[in-house]
Amino acid sequence: MIADIGGYTEYMQFHRTLLGHAEAATTRLLEKVVDAARDFDLIEIEGDAAFLSREADTLDGDARLAAITEAAVAMHRAFHVERRLVELNLCPCDSCAQTSDLKLKFVAHVGEVAIQKIKRRRKLIGMDVIFVHRLLKNPVQVPEYVLLSEDLYRSGGTAPPDHLVHEISQDLEGIGPVRTYFVEVEDLAGPLAPVPDPSGLRRVGETVGILGRGLRCQLRLRRPRRTAPAD
């Protein structure tokens, strides 16, 4: 499963006023997204996206689809709660004040992978890993959706109700035409309950948090490189 922040490129391009703030915000958002996908392992952060996986062998078809839709709903909720907190923090810079265009979308697939361990990092490799990544390039027009591969969609009984599922065909680069199915996140989750406005105190905390991160970012960039380790 890949959770991908939409609108991120524009966000990064337009908000360069305070170096580090857009990055700090997206880091925070991705952290919350990953935390919310409790039964999934984080394989890799890929720019504006998180690549997650879980074992499917132990789940029957019904449970596979449910695992995906439940995780998507939880990640989506966590994303927007955190996004709202970034927006409400007291830093007036554009990247902190204008996060409302950021969206979260998902693609998911079930297939066979090999696990490659390099040092302490675990990588997934194989055609199906490429497949799920290719799904990101799709013609879906709605901003927030869960797009399922046919293998995943067909793997079990209770998919989301038929009237919510939209079938599309995609031509995947190097793979060819495939059928995929998407559901709008809102149709799965219902409209987002309004995020309670944090208290003034919390807002100050949030601001300090994000300013701190932005600042650290700048310091790191500005610190001259040493040619030899200190002491």
Per-residue binding string, Zn ion, 30-59, x by CB under 5 A, is ------------------------------
Spell 216-228 as b/e; 16+ CB within 10 A means b. ebeeeeeeeeeee
Q: Report CA-CA distances (Å) from 124 to 61, 64, 109, 120.
A: 22, 19, 13, 13
Residue number with CB closer to Zn ion (2 or 93):
93
CB of residue 220 to Zn ion, shortest distance in Å: 17
Q: How would DSSP label each residue in 151-204?
A: HHHTTSS-PSPGGG-EEEEEEETTTEEEEEEEEEHHHHH-SPPPPPPPPHHHHH
Among the listed ranges 1-9, 21-29, 58-66, 125-133, the one in contact with Zn ion (CB under 5 A) is: 21-29
Total residues in contact with Zn ion, by rule CB under 5 A? 4
135: which DSSP letter? T
CB of residue 25 to Zn ion, shortest distance in Å: 8
Instruction: Please state the separation of Cα 78 from the chain's center in Å.
Output: 10
Beta-carbon contacts of residue 79 (< 8 Å; ≥ 6 apart): 3, 5, 29, 32, 33, 36, 104
Residue number with CB closer to Zn ion (66 or 88):
88
CB of residue 15 to Zn ion, shortest distance in Å: 8
The token pair that represents 151 in the structure block = 């293998």
SS3 state at 142: coil
21 lies in the binding site for Zn ion (CB under 5 A): yes
CB of residue 207 to Zn ion, shortest distance in Å: 8
* CA–CA dist 76, 120 (Å, integer): 29
22 lies in the binding site for Zn ion (CB under 5 A): no
The residue type of 26 is T
Residue number with CB closer to Zn ion (85 or 159):
85
Residue number with CB closer to Zn ion (21 or 134):
21
86 lies in the binding site for Zn ion (CB under 5 A): no
CB of residue 21 to Zn ion, shortest distance in Å: 4
Could you say which of 34, 91, 129, 159 contacts Zn ion (CB under 5 A)? Answer: 91
Could you say which of 37, 49, 71, 96 contacts Zn ion (CB under 5 A)? Answer: 96
Residue number with CB closer to Zn ion (71 or 96):
96
Residues that bind Zn ion (CB under 5 A): 21, 91, 93, 96
